[in-house]
């Protein structure tokens, strides 16, 4: 079973983090049954209660983990999340506000897993969703 790490970069997201993680966990439990999936919260410099909330959730959910770096900016958080420290077959990242509907995870994963693309990118800004518009290798 292929391993998927879904990285959620955060910075001072205490107001939405809990609801967003619950939505992601529920979606993945229903739709990613053929994968060994895991959610990784990559906190970059939060000074609010974000990491405390995630820590409490991770203590109850084995498919959720987190780390905190002091440096602001998602680049450093993604660099650590996609390092040898967190090995995976497929790496995914999206924003904690879930502005892109979770249903698009399925074709995104399929582009990499089944169509063998090296990279797949989805954008909520595209008028029409199709493999040609979101994927390239």
The closest of 76, 77, 87, 75 to 66, measured between CA atoms, is 77
pLDDT for residue 99: 87
Q: Which residue, chain included where needed, has tokens 């990784």?
A: 40
Q: Is the pLDDT of residue 130 over 90?
A: no
Domain boundaries, the chain: 3-99, 100-137
pLDDT for residue 136: 37
Binned at pLDDT 50, 70 and 90, residue 134 comes out as: very low
Token couple for 118: 């090296």
Binned at pLDDT 50, 70 and 90, residue 127 comes out as: low
pLDDT for residue 14: 98
Evaluate if pTM is beyond 0.85: yes
Which fold, 3-99? Spore Coat Polysaccharide Biosynthesis Protein SpsA; Chain A (3.90.550)
pLDDT for residue 131: 46
**Predicted confidence (pLDDT) per residue in 74-92, tens digit:** 899 999 999 989 999 999 9
Say if residues 126 and 107 touch (Cβ distance below 8 Å). no
**Predicted confidence (pLDDT) per residue in 26-47, tens digit:** 999 999 999 999 999 999 999 9
């Amino acid at each position: 079973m292929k391993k998927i790490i879904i990285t959620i970069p955060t910075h001072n997201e205490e107001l939405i983090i809990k609801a967003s993680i619950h939505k992601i966990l529920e979606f993945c439990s229903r739709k990613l049954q053929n994968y060994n999936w895991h959610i990784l919260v990559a906190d970059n410099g939060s000074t609010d209660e974000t990491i405390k909330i995630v820590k409490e959730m991770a203590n109850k959910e084995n498919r959720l983990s987190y780390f905190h770096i002091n440096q602001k900016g998602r680049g450093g958080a993604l660099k650590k999340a996609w390092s040898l420290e967190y090995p995976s077959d497929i790496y995914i990242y999206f924003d904690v506000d879930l502005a892109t509907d979770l249903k698009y995870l399925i074709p995104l994963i399929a582009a990499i897993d089944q169509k063998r693309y090296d990279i797949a990118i989805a954008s909520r800004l595209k008028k029409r969703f199709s493999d040609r518009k979101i994927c390239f290798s």
